[in-house]
Amino acid sequence: MQKNEIKKKYFDKIKELNKHNLLYYQKSKPIISDKDYDKLKKEIFELEKKYTFLISDISPSNTVGFKPSKNFLKAVHRERMLSLSNAFDKNDLGNFEKKVLNYLNIKDKKILEYSVEPKIDGISASLTYKNNNFVLGLSRGDGTEGEVITENLKTIKDIPKYIENTKFPKDIDIRGEVYIEKDDFKNIKDRFANPRNAASGSLRQKDSSETKKIPLRFIAYSFGFNNEINFKKQSEFLQLLKNWGFKTNKFNKVISGVDNLVQIHKELEKKRYDLDFDVDGLVYKINSIELQNRLGFVANAPRWAIAHKFSADSSFSKILNIEIQIGRTGALTPVAKVKPVNIGGVLVSNATLHNEEEIIRKDIRVGDTVKIERAGDVIPHVLLVDINKRSKESKKFLFPQKCPSCGSKVIKDFNKVSKKYDAVKRCSSEGYKCEKIAIEKIKHFVSKEAFNIEGLGKKVVEKFWNLKLIKLPYDIFNLNYKKIEKLDGWGTQSSNNLKKSIEKSRNIELDKFIFSLGIRHIGQENARLLSKFFLNIKSFEDLTKNFNFNSLANLDGIGETQINSLKNFFSDQINLNVVKKLVSILSIKDVVLNTKGKLVNKTFMFTGKLSNISRAEAKSLTEQNSGKILSNVSKKLDYLVIGEKPTAKKVKQANELSIKVISQLEWKKLLN
Ligand code: IVH
């Protein structure tokens, strides 16, 4: 067969498969048997195996599993579902423990006890029980809002539908991991890339009888909403879960000391391939619930827990090409396109090369055979080059001097702190003028943490961009649905669904709106800080008119880098138009501040060393009681709280401005 004919045969089969995916998973109206479906998929995989030139982005081995339904109702989590930050080695763990000790102002490490739990590689779910009945089951979603998947969760044997135990709290969210055991996965491995995909795909089926066909399991490990906390430790809670009838992990342990954590990690890592389920590391949680509460969380992760990942899987493959990807902030990232290779159950065809310096340091070239590493959900990267396999004709890779998308000059930022130039090269036309940056900006705009527009994923954004349906973010709110309906793979229903989710997203919180603009150095946490400062879209927009950034200098957490970035952003005419237009067509909610605390409308600043409490915890307590933290002494400041050895200049300034200078004890009294 000619190459062309093979390609045609292959793409025809993929098209056929996609048709059945749609009929089965979105419309729930299959027209072929499961057996024929699996046969078709197998034929595609076999063609790929035989003719390696066939592998493409649309291969079902990339878009594995079946497409989950988009039609789930959503519900807000009563307590946010957080994720975890990662540690990879002893050093990371040491830093984690140090931060915890500093925050809590504890000197003796031995006091810290950890609940150590295997990190099952599945999908988390939150189960609400009222009066002992399982009444609502949610997926994690964006952490704030999840999908209602109660019926699907009810098909899982490990999830009790009713709790007999009379001491079980009357209203509680139980959280844990839905997963599939390795043995069970063997029977369905032709349909999914890995057990995690299988769990995720079957959990999000429209028809719960489909979910029931897959033997899913559930292990419980934490709680969300719970106002009957009558336990003092995470380990006690795990025991309660067991008493109430939930399955918990038999490898859970309580351990102190980083050295011991490293030891247990080593032991489980050795055992990991013999376990019945996929585990990608261990989770360490500060065992004391009181300390957990004091530590709280940053952005999306708790300060009191960390995931210690297992070392990466690796494999060799050949670099077919080196492409330059352009990110939302203009960063040029070289990516090695490699001959697809299975690494730890996932088919890898891309590996990041990070930046130009990395390519030079490792002398990575097109055609090289390289070792690629992949750890959990982290992007695979090239570890080293096998020089012995290098051909004589191979040439050094030349990093582009101009943006491959728009031709602008590439630049490196100077870092004032390290006094060095960044390793990353950037397109100098940061903004919508560079096509690739613009596309990435739009992907960010619609992403989960921003406008969260379901049905407008990365691939769809690219497609709509190429069809000139979207050029700037506001185009999303003025789409030509008649045209979309007629596109390949679309129809009236999917087009209507998209319209619905876009219309719904018009109503947005101020912090999400600020974050969605993709301003450099303004991530979720800074967007939240800014939204609490501006309180409504009008005052944020005023910034674009009066260009008065001075007031921001006072805001704790917002520094020179962020202010310069905001100035930069608002100096661009296109950005100004985008914001103006969006404001006119959206409904951006005002921020409702917690005004119940004792320190409402009062501003604070701390100087000097506090006793028995860290600066971070003092600030956090102030905010929890509705107080505001400022980072400079100015007329806006109400209290300067002084600890040991305060900065003399600050005290002097405060006195000059007649600001109340108070001791830590007086601050504590205000808090009561
Ligand atoms: S605790 C704040 N405990 O890991 C608490 N998570 O990266 C966050 N996971 O979304 C979760 N085993 O899907 C926790 N014993 C365990 C876990 C666990 C697996 C998953 C979970 C979560 C992800 C965080």
Percent of the chain at pLDDT above 90?
A: 67
CATH 3.30.470.30 domain locations along the chain: 67-309
Q: Does the pLDDT value for residue 131 go beyond 50?
A: yes
Angle 258-271/90-104 helices, nearest 10 degrees?
Answer: 140
Contacts of 453 (CB under 8 A, 6+ apart): 446, 476, 498, 501, 502, 505
Which pLDDT belongs to residue 7?
86
pLDDT, tens digit, for every residue of 92-129?
999 999 999 999 999 888 889 999 999 999 999 999 99
Q: Does the pLDDT value for residue 26 go beyond 60?
A: no
Which pLDDT belongs to residue 52?
73
> Mutation test of ligand 1: which of 96, 124, 217 has the most ligand atoms closer than 8 Å to its C-beta?
124
User: Can you tell me which atom of ligand 1 is nearest the CA of 82?
Assistant: 2
Assess contact for 650 and 605: CB atoms under 8 A: yes
Ligand 1 within 6 A of CB of 307: yes
Rounded CA separation 378/380 (Å): 6
Which pLDDT belongs to residue 48?
79
Assess contact for 408 and 399: CB atoms under 8 A: no
Which pLDDT belongs to residue 27?
58
Q: What is the third-level CATH fold of 509-589? A: DNA polymerase; domain 1 (1.10.150)
- Residue 61 pLDDT grade (very low, low, confident, very high; cuts 50, 70, 90): low
CATH 3.40.50.10190 domain locations along the chain: 603-671
The DSSP bridge partners found for residue 180 are: 216
Ligand 1 within 6 A of CB of 302: yes
Ligand 1 within 6 A of CB of 177: yes
Largest pairwise CA distance in the chain: 88
- Residue 251 pLDDT grade (very low, low, confident, very high; cuts 50, 70, 90): very high
Ligand 1 within 6 A of CB of 222: yes
Structure tokens at 370: 């390289």
Structure tokens at 22: 């749609």
Which pLDDT belongs to residue 70?
61
Mapped onto helix, strand or coil, the DSSP state of residue 671 is: helix
Tell me: domain 603-671, CATH 3.40.50.10190, correct?
A: yes
More confident residue, 31 or 256: 256
Which pLDDT belongs to residue 24?
62
pLDDT, tens digit, for every residue of 342-355?
887 778 899 999 99
Distance of CA 657 from the midpoint of ligand 1 (Å): 49
Structure tokens at 265: 């990690």
Mean pLDDT, residues 19-37 taken together:
70
Contacts of 46 (CB under 8 A, 6+ apart): none
Q: Does the pLDDT value for residue 64 go beyond 50?
A: no
Ligand 1 within 6 A of CB of 82: yes
Distance of CA 238 from the midpoint of ligand 1 (Å): 14
Mean pLDDT, residues 377-388 taken together:
89
Q: Does the pLDDT value for residue 430 go beyond 90?
A: no
Distance of CA 376 from the midpoint of ligand 1 (Å): 13
What superfamily in CATH does domain 67-309 come from? DNA ligase/mRNA capping enzyme (3.30.470.30)
Q: Is the dihedral of CA 64, 68, 70, 75 positive or negative?
A: negative
CATH 1.10.150.20 domain locations along the chain: 509-589
More confident residue, 212 or 138: 138
**One-letter-per-residue 3-state SS of 225-257:** EECCCCCCEHHHHHHHHHHHCCCCCCCCEEECC
Rounded CA separation 165/133 (Å): 11
> Mutation test of ligand 1: which of 77, 123, 222, 268 has the most ligand atoms closer than 8 Å to its C-beta?
222
Distance of CA 248 from the midpoint of ligand 1 (Å): 13
- Residue 316 pLDDT grade (very low, low, confident, very high; cuts 50, 70, 90): very high
Which residue's alpha carbon is nearest to atom 9 within ligand 1? 119
Mean pLDDT, residues 328-341 taken together:
94
Q: Does the pLDDT value for residue 502 go beyond 60?
A: yes
Candidates 532, 526, 489, 490; CA nearest to 510 is 532
For residue 119, indicate whether it is catalytic: yes
Which residue's alpha carbon is nearest to atom 17 within ligand 1? 119
- Residue 507 pLDDT grade (very low, low, confident, very high; cuts 50, 70, 90): very high
Distance of CA 83 from the midpoint of ligand 1 (Å): 7
**One-letter-per-residue 3-state SS of 30-63:** CCCCHHHHHHHHHHHHHHHHHCHHHCCCCCCCCC
Q: Does the pLDDT value for residue 166 go beyond 60?
A: yes
> Mutation test of ligand 1: which of 119, 127, 268, 282 has the most ligand atoms closer than 8 Å to its C-beta?
119
Specify the DSSP class assigned to residue 148. B
User: How far, CA to CA in Å, does 435 sit from each of 57, 243, 367, 424, 438?
Assistant: 21, 58, 29, 19, 5
Assess contact for 84 and 124: CB atoms under 8 A: no
Distance of CA 121 from the midpoint of ligand 1 (Å): 9
User: How far, CA to CA in Å, does 95 sit from each of 92, 101, 105, 109, 299?
Assistant: 5, 10, 15, 12, 18
> Mutation test of ligand 1: which of 80, 221, 238 has the most ligand atoms closer than 8 Å to its C-beta?
221
Which pLDDT belongs to residue 376?
67
Ligand 1 within 6 A of CB of 86: no
Q: Using DSSP bridges, classify how beta strands 507-509 and 346-352 pair: parallel, antiparallel or unpaired.
A: unpaired
- One-letter amino acid at 320 equals L
Assess contact for 661 and 640: CB atoms under 8 A: yes
Average the pLDDT over each of 174-178, 262-266, 313-317 and give the range with the smallest value.
Answer: 313-317
41, 119, 441, 628: the active-site residue:
119
Residue 333: count other Cβ atoms within 10 Å of its Cβ: 17
Percent of the chain at pLDDT above 70?
A: 95
Distance of CA 510 from the midpoint of ligand 1 (Å): 29
Which residue's alpha carbon is nearest to atom 11 within ligand 1? 83
Distance of CA 580 from the midpoint of ligand 1 (Å): 40
User: pTM value?
Assistant: 0.71
Average pLDDT, the chain: 90
Alpha helix (H) ranges present in 555-627? 560-570, 573-585, 615-624
Report how many helices (DSSP H) and strands (DSSP E) the chain contains, helices first. 23, 26
Distance in Å from the first CA to the final CA of the chain = 82
> Mutation test of ligand 1: which of 79, 81, 82, 83 has the most ligand atoms closer than 8 Å to its C-beta?
83
Which pLDDT belongs to residue 548?
85
Average the pLDDT over each of 478-482, 590-594, 640-644 and give the range with the smallest value.
Answer: 590-594
Ligand 1 within 6 A of CB of 119: yes
Ligand 1 within 6 A of CB of 124: yes
Which pLDDT belongs to residue 17?
84
Distance of CA 291 from the midpoint of ligand 1 (Å): 19
Which residue's alpha carbon is nearest to atom 22 within ligand 1? 83
Contacts of 380 (CB under 8 A, 6+ apart): 343, 348, 350, 351, 352, 372, 373, 374
Assess contact for 155 and 216: CB atoms under 8 A: yes
Which residue's alpha carbon is nearest to atom 5 within ligand 1? 82
Q: Does the pLDDT value for residue 544 go beyond 50?
A: yes
Rounded CA separation 252/231 (Å): 17
Structure tokens at 290: 């009181």
Ligand 1 within 6 A of CB of 664: no
More confident residue, 46 or 172: 172
Phi, psi of 517 (to 5 degrees): -70, -15
Distance of CA 486 from the midpoint of ligand 1 (Å): 42
Ligand 1 within 6 A of CB of 303: no
pLDDT, tens digit, for every residue of 399-422?
999 999 999 999 998 887 778 898
Mean pLDDT, residues 176-187 taken together:
92
Ligand 1 within 6 A of CB of 83: yes
Average the pLDDT over each of 31-45, 139-153, 636-650 and give the range with the smallest value.
Answer: 31-45
More confident residue, 136 or 107: 136
Assess contact for 191 and 46: CB atoms under 8 A: no
Which residue's alpha carbon is nearest to atom 2 within ligand 1? 82
